[in-house]
C-alpha cells in the first residue's frame, strides 16, 4: 500500500534551524528511497513537503515519517493518509 504524508512547518517552529537540519533530512530521504520505503519526496508549496511511502499500514508509514530528522527536530508536523493512486505505481 502507498501512503502520502503532508508535512508542514509548525507555526511555532524556529525556521532559522532549517538549514542545520535539511541536509540530514535529504540524506535520510535518500536512504529510505534506496531501501524501498519511500517512493518519492519533495517540497509542498512554501511551507513544507510531501513523502510517498510504501508500507503495510498507516501506522507503519507514520513510524517511517517519525524518523525524519525534520520531525525529530520538532520543526514539522505531518498528516499521513492512504494514497489511492489513479495510475498504478511500478
pTM of the model: 0.85
DSSP 29-72: HHHHHHTTSEEEEEE-TTSEEEEEEE-SSHHHHHHHHHTSHHHH
* Whether the predicted pLDDT of 50 surpasses 80: yes
- pLDDT tops 80 at residue 89: no
Q: Does domain 2-82 have CATH number 3.55.40.20?
A: no
Amino acid at each position: 500500500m502507498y501512503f502520502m504524508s503532508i508535512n508542514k512547518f509548525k507555526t511555532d517552529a524556529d525556521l532559522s534551524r532549517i538549514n542545520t537540519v535539511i541536509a540530514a533530512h535529504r540524506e535520510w530521504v535518500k536512504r529510505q528511497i534506496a531501501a524501498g520505503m519511500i517512493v518519492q519526496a519533495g517540497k509542498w508549496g512554501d511551507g513544507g513537503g510531501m513523502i510517498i511511502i510504501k508500507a503495510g499500514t498507516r501506522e507503519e508509514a507514520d513510524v517511517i515519517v517519525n524518523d525524519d530528522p525534520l520531525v525529530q527536530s520538532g520543526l514539522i508536523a505531518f498528516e499521513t493518509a492512504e494514497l489511492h493512486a489513479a495510475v498504478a505505481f511500478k
